Homo-oligomer: A and B are copies of this chain.
Amino acid sequence: MVDSCRHCTSCREGLEQYCENGFTGTYNGPEQGTGANTYGGYSDIVVVDEGYVLRIPDGLDPAAAAPLLCAGITTYSPLCRWRVKAGQKVGVVGLGGLGHMAVKLARAMGAHVILFTTSPKKREDALALGAHEVVVSRDPDAMAAHRNSFDFILDTVAAPHDLDAYLVLLARDGAMILVGAPAEPHPATTVFNLIMKRRQIAGSLIGGIAETQEMLNFCAEHGITAEIEMIPIQQINEAYERMLKSDVKYRFVIDMASLKQDAATAA
């Protein structure tokens, strides 16, 4: 997000990501006023209004900090909005780019963090990243052992899946927040699972500029960055294919120095 209307209620409240007139995305978004396209950050210089510029705190590796601007804030914002705090039981569904950040952040906030995955082989990684427990979601007994117990579940999975399986794990007044947007809807949930424990399902989108800076500062304070694999831009197509196969731990970052190398080669 590189701009927004700056005068709607959401913008004035520092929630530019919910700009009522539509924010300007970094990639292929309409510029405010002109409506011209933005062309993204795959460059060594980008012109952005100072109100939309963030400061990477000293001590954070810039490459490993880069994904914080998306995966970091997308998971930090709902954790804050729903007031996750020390001692609470927090579930994270899926261990990808978003999920691995959610595990680190929720752990740093003092929560008891349980990672849900369909892949038993992700157990060691999840524990190393900060999860206290790992539950394989295909194991009905393991799932049943956690019924009615979670304060908060962050669902990072963008593929359609059964939400009821997680809703029933929420305690009374528990919240499940969806940050993955599947192309097709998730299967319909059972209203009864919402009514009987006053549970809620909500969605959340990145974060505002002030909150994003707060997240960066929080990460610096707790020594948190994303797990990344840095590639030269020349390998982007291969990286994209690997990403589609979930063959990345956990975000690719493009080294912009390689852009000049490319330009030099082309010249």
Contact = CB atoms under 8 A, between A and B. Distances in A.
Contacts of A190: 185
B10 A172 contact: yes
Interface residues of A, number: 35
Copies of this chain in its oligomeric complex = 2
Interface in A180-199: 180-182, 185-199
Main secondary structure of the interface of A (DSSP, over half): loop
A11 to B, nearest CB: 11
A18 B172 contact: yes
A87 interface: no
A184 to B, nearest CB: 9
A114 B193 CA distance: 27
A214 to B, nearest CB: 17
A132 B51 CA distance: 41
A175 B194 CA distance: 13
Interface of A: 9-10, 15, 18, 20, 81, 148, 172, 175, 178-182, 185-205
25 contacts: A20-B148, A20-B172, A81-B198, A178-B191, A178-B194, A179-B195, A180-B191, A181-B192, A181-B195, A185-B190, A185-B191, A186-B188, A187-B188, A191-B203, A194-B202, A195-B203, A196-B203, A197-B203, A198-B203, A198-B204, A198-B205, A199-B202, A200-B201, A200-B203, A201-B201
